[in-house]
Amino acid sequence: MDRISQQDSPSAPAGARAAAFSVHVLTAFGAGLALLALLEAVREHWAAMFAWLGVALVVDALDGPIARRLDVVRVLPNWSGEVLDLVVDFVTYVFVPAYAITASGLLLPLAAPLLGIGITVTGALYFADRRMKSPDNHFRGFPGLWNVAAFYLFLLHPSPALASLGVVVLIVATFLPFHVVHPVRVRRLRWLTLSLIALWAALMIFTVASDFDVGAPVTIALCAIAAYVVASDAAIRLVRSFHT
């Protein structure tokens, strides 16, 4: 949910207050989904874990628009949807994926606990950074999407040394001054971004349903879309610099 100008509304109808509070319940339900994902991760049912994290991602995508439509911040000024959203995002985007990355055997055994701590600490710091988004709504640095990073580690299954190095790079990239496209709020090439994200979501569902047993075309497409999200802003800025 996004911050909306707060105005006390003690006279809001009971129905409006109930509807508004139901949005907070929907957001908080993401924490319950994170628990289900963690239970599957403990059992090493990785595809099921990603399925629950995917449902949590859908909830996260829906609650903001609903909250804005119902004017939740004005109707319920004593409840912070922004704080609630950050708490739930931390457990779904960072904590549960950190456990999966650490416990899956994908990393070097000695490095895994340290890297897991690094993921959770830097993820918490990132969510506390008020500068996490640029004025044009790009994310600054690696945006703490460890659920996505974990998905690609399970998809590509690199050697433990390479996987550990990749995690180190992402931890450092959390604080680097580059921009990552927000799939909805960045206006530039939004039509292309949304089309690719829709394809990406379909391919991710197929991959999880197939327990990561997919062919090279699916893997290449998923990696190409990830490269677009991460590098498109830098590429556009570089091209523009040659024409100025």
Average model confidence (pLDDT) across the chain: 87
Say if residue 136's pLDDT is above 90.
Answer: no
- Residues 164, 102: Cα–Cα separation, whole Å: 10
- Give the model's pLDDT for residue 11: 61
- Give the model's pLDDT for residue 3: 38
Q: What is the DSSP letter of 93?
A: I
Say if residue 121's pLDDT is above 70.
Answer: yes
Q: Which residues pair with 139 in a beta bridge?
A: 133, 180
Say if residue 16's pLDDT is above 90.
Answer: no
> Shortest CA distance to 75 belongs to which of 3, 4, 16, 15?
16
**Residue 23, CA distances (Å) to 10, 26, 221 in order:** 18, 5, 35
- Give the model's pLDDT for residue 8: 42
pLDDT category, 35, cuts 50, 70, 90? very high
- Give the model's pLDDT for residue 10: 56
b/e 206-231 (16+ beta carbons within 10 angstroms → b): ebbeeebebeeebbebbeebbebbbe
Most confident by average pLDDT, 58-62, 63-67, 170-174: 170-174
CB-based contacts of 84, cutoff 8 Å, min separation 6? 1, 24, 27, 28
- Give the model's pLDDT for residue 179: 78
pTM given for the model: 0.86
- Residues 202, 43: Cα–Cα separation, whole Å: 26
